[in-house]
Amino acid sequence: MGTLLMNCDWVVTQDPQRRVLRNSSVRINDGKVDDIGDLRPIPKDDIIDCKGKLLIPGLINTHTHLSMTLFRGYADDLELQQWLEQKIWPLEKQLTGDMCYNGALLGGLEMTRTGTTCFVDMYFHMERVAEAVREAGLRAVLSYGVIDPKEDAGIGRERENTLKLLEHIRSLNEPRLEFAVGPHSPYTCSEETLLWAEELAEKNNTLVNIHIAETRGEQARFEREKKARVAEYLNKIGFLSDRVLAAHSVWLTKSEVKLFGQNGVRVAHCPVSNMKLAGGGVAPLPEMWEAGVPVGLGTDGPASNNGLDMFDTMKTCALVHKAHRWDPTIANAQKVLDMATIDGARSISKEKEIGSIEIGKRADLVLLDARDPNMIPIHGKETVVSNLVYSANGFNVDTTIVDGKILMTDRKPLVLDPEKIASAVDVSVAGLFPK
């Protein structure tokens, strides 16, 4: 028995031809896209009437820290190091597995609600985050954030936590969940730890999820202490490879961008977080494209964004690059939508599975209400993409589907219970911020 998404007003395929289809249907079978076009129902098909709806591939958030939903709105308007060292890190020391689980469920609900179907995460208590993601029905690449502790004895503990997560995700045997090694950054991990991470990823054929060259302060400190720029240093020690998914990558020179291209490094661009924490500068996006670097979009954690709505991040991405370069043609709507879909899939080596609506790919799909006031009018195919990037927001999402399973329909979550999650988060927050 299949599911027929019947008569969508528009289908934005994001396939290699970037076809936008009018009045078309998509059949889902066995978790995959089975057929696209002018389709008739076959007996036993579950039919979803998609009149007035716009179908897009599920959005891919290539960088976040889901459980940080618990810190949303706490400690805003601060500089990154002050924010991390004085506010976030002390709180993170108190986090329990239950807290991370509840925070991740809240994040999972927000993603379901706003059309994100796959994401890359780095945090602590990741076995509990995996449990939440599994329950939510989303797709994710999960990494434990390795930070070298001051005392040597702690280094073994960080590595053990990584290996524990690797074993745990393997034991779950859940195709929606994947493991990545997660050295936090070149300023919190030694050369030895970075190379250990790269080697572990190589051995297990996984990604390395890391923050690179996020702020001007980090860059200045690196030049002072290591006598090298961040990306130059990573290249010199042999860390850069096509396994590396480099979040931020703001402070790169043109020659460092070329190093990324030559080594096959991928980037998770997080424009909202970069602007909010005012790390200085704007990531060299056009240069990355020119160097052939696959670039996805990320929200970053909900404490530095403060939401997980990828529509908001798409619009911000388009605007910041236009403003920064004095050029309205840069980061056009189609390219930015690519970043949140097919380019995001490329940046995590999943372009054969997800990122576009094509026969044989996983059915990670999102329906938006094309009759919502902010989506009217749609003059033609180009306007569909423009409306998605410049006018839509996550709350235009009506239906979210992952692996053929309907997680939300009619704007009502079917898998997660919003009331229950909100109450559990209240308990976790009360534990973290005692009155």
Q: Which residues bind Zn ion (CB under 5 A)?
A: 300
CA atoms within 13 A on the CB side of 315: 12
Q: How far is the CB of 248 from Zn ion (least distance, A)?
A: 7
Q: How far is the CB of 63 from Zn ion (least distance, A)?
A: 6
Q: Which residues pair with 61 in a beta bridge?
A: 119
How far is residue 321's CA from residue 283's CA, in Å, rounded to a whole number?
9
Contacts of 313 (CB under 8 A, 6+ apart): 61, 270, 271, 272, 297, 298, 299, 305, 340
Q: How far is the CB of 64 from Zn ion (least distance, A)?
A: 7
Structure tokens at 151: 């005392």
- CA 94 → CA 61, 76, 80, 124, distances in Å? 27, 20, 20, 11
Q: How far is the CB of 300 from Zn ion (least distance, A)?
A: 5
How far is residue 362's CA from residue 31's CA, in Å, rounded to a whole number?
6
- CA 288 → CA 101, 132, 143, 260, 330, distances in Å? 35, 34, 25, 8, 13
Q: How far is the CB of 228 from Zn ion (least distance, A)?
A: 23
Q: How far is the CB of 301 from Zn ion (least distance, A)?
A: 6
User: Quick check: helix, strand or coil at residue 160?
Assistant: helix
Which lies closer to Zn ion via its Cβ, residue 88 or residue 389? 88
Which lies closer to Zn ion via its Cβ, residue 9 or residue 300? 300
Q: How far is the CB of 179 from Zn ion (least distance, A)?
A: 18
- Please say whether the beta carbons of 138 and 402 come within 8 A: yes
Q: What is the largest CA-CA distance in the chain?
A: 69
Which lies closer to Zn ion via its Cβ, residue 11 or residue 118? 118
Q: How far is the CB of 158 from Zn ion (least distance, A)?
A: 17
Which lies closer to Zn ion via its Cβ, residue 72 or residue 362? 72
- Please say whether the beta carbons of 67 and 123 come within 8 A: yes
Say which amino acid occupies 242: D
Which lies closer to Zn ion via its Cβ, residue 300 or residue 364? 300
DSSP 349-384: T-TTTSSS--TTSB--EEEEETTSGGG----SHHHH
Which lies closer to Zn ion via its Cβ, residue 142 or residue 357? 142
Within 10 angstroms of residue 174's Cβ, the number of other Cβ atoms is: 14
Which lies closer to Zn ion via its Cβ, residue 54 or residue 142? 142
Q: How far is the CB of 12 from Zn ion (least distance, A)?
A: 28
Which lies closer to Zn ion via its Cβ, residue 218 or residue 300? 300
Which lies closer to Zn ion via its Cβ, residue 3 or residue 161? 161
Question: What is the C-alpha radius of gyration for the chain, rounded to an integer number of angstroms?
Answer: 21
Q: How far is the CB of 89 from Zn ion (least distance, A)?
A: 13
Q: Which residue has the tokens 């050369």?
A: 191
Within 10 angstroms of residue 221's Cβ, the number of other Cβ atoms is: 14
CA atoms within 13 A on the CB side of 269: 30
Structure tokens at 37: 């076009």
Which lies closer to Zn ion via its Cβ, residue 273 or residue 396? 273
- CA 263 → CA 238, 245, 254, 260, 347, distances in Å? 10, 12, 14, 5, 13
Q: How far is the CB of 304 from Zn ion (least distance, A)?
A: 7
Going by C-alpha positions, the residue among 365, 319, 359 that lies closest to residue 341 is 365
CB-nearest residue to Zn ion: 300
Which lies closer to Zn ion via its Cβ, residue 305 or residue 400? 305
How far is residue 23's CA from residue 6's CA, in Å, rounded to a whole number?
9
User: Quick check: helix, strand or coil at residue 3?
Assistant: strand
